[in-house]
Amino acid sequence: MTLVFATHNPNKLKELQALVPDFIQLKSLTDIGCTEEIIEDAPTIEGNALLKARFIKQKYNLDCFADDTGLEVAALNGEPGVYSARYAGEQKNADDNMKKLLKALQDTRNRKARFKTVIALSLNNKEYTFEGICNGAITEEKMGDSGFGYDPIFRPETYWETFAEMPLALKNSIGHRGKAVQKLVDFLKEKL
């Protein structure tokens, strides 16, 4: 079975291909020749994932799934949330985003946060969503050089390392995206 994963990000594609069983082959937006920017203007993480999946299904008529992820920080009333990728501006720069977040929390002891991923699947003209959450805390400085996004400043509950310090297999097994993907995979195994 081939599914389009609505991303151009090779890191995300690699991460997801490692999580899905061998009978599912993933193609990226680049693989199907999609060069348009898919506008993510929904007010929720789930809404943005659905927008992307619907775009691919309508334009290319391919079964697909899309994800959207947000980092929700308790002391900031859930920010950056749906705006996580562009928290510090439309240039979507991970270092700028982390700097802005660390500055916003510099005088705050409550550093609780959670990553939330929603996957929207468009399969056989039906839509499904799957959610994964990973609770943790924001560190006071960047640590580690693996991963992407906010990984160097997010430490999951019960771990001393940030996502950026962990091996990919461990991050996948405990992380928000891994949990959402596992729900997707379990669903696909039942359906097929």
The residues carrying an active-site annotation are 68
Give dist(CA 76, CA 39) in Å, integer: 25
Place of tokens 């996502």: 163
The closest of 111, 109, 79 to 97, measured between CA atoms, is 79
Residues 121 and 129: beta-carbon distance below 8 Å? yes
3-state secondary structure of 79: coil
**Length reported for the chain:** 192
Give dist(CA 13, CA 157) in Å, integer: 25
Bridge partners, residue 112, by sequence: 137
